Amino acid sequence: MKIYTKSGDKGTTSLVYGSRVSKKDQRVEAYGTCDEANSMIGLGLSYLKAEYFDGKEKFEGFFHKIQTALFHVGAELATPSGKEVKWKLEDSDIKELEEQIDFLDGTLTPLKNFILPGGHPAGAALHTARTIVRRAEREAVGIGEDVNPLVLSYLNRLSDFLFVAARYINQQLGEEEKNLHQ
């Protein structure tokens, strides 16, 4: 299979099941933004080294699940209304995010102020991924009622998880958080 197909040279792309739409279609914007978030998560993880903190393998394993789930979200968004989604998002995907948020948040110093994104490059990249996920959520909302409500819930929870994960990484690596008014 060739990487290039030339089928998108005139500004259209295929959704799942083959219908052609503009590359500016709301669905394409939404699943493309999920792809951006997934890439930023990958960048963040590339900055982590095994010696940085205990449990890196478990941490990265959970991120592998998240990156896979983002492909499921993309499949949901790329499937036209009325068609069956092949890679379905499940309630358990959201529950697992909530459990990880609660676990990581329980290890962190409670927030008293807004914090500025940044810190270690891995933490900063996850802060950036969080903002990209927020954009994906807005794009998905723009599709309207045809979006599986689990997609919106997952993206909402994922942005919360990425915020907590960025804080966790920064704390584990000794990066001091900068408050908004410091």
Q: Each residue of 97-127: pLDDT tens digit?
A: 999 999 999 999 999 889 999 999 999 999 9
21 membership: H or E segment, kind and range: strand 20-22
Residue 158 has pLDDT above 60, yes or no: yes
Whole-number Cα distances in Å, 76 to 80, 138, 166, 182: 8, 15, 27, 42
CATH 1.20.1200.10 fits 20-80+88-173, yes or no: yes
* 79: its two tokens: 């499937």
Return d(Cα 125, Cα 105) in angstroms, integer.
19
Question: What is the average pLDDT value for the chain, to the nearest integer?
Answer: 89
Where residue 156 falls among pLDDT bands split at 50, 70, 90? very high
The model's pTM is 0.91
Q: Are 19 and 13 in contact (CB under 8 A)?
A: no
111 three-class SS? coil
Residue 15 has pLDDT above 80, yes or no: no
Q: In the prediction, which pLDDT does 67 show?
A: 96
Between 138 and 88, residue with greater pLDDT = 138
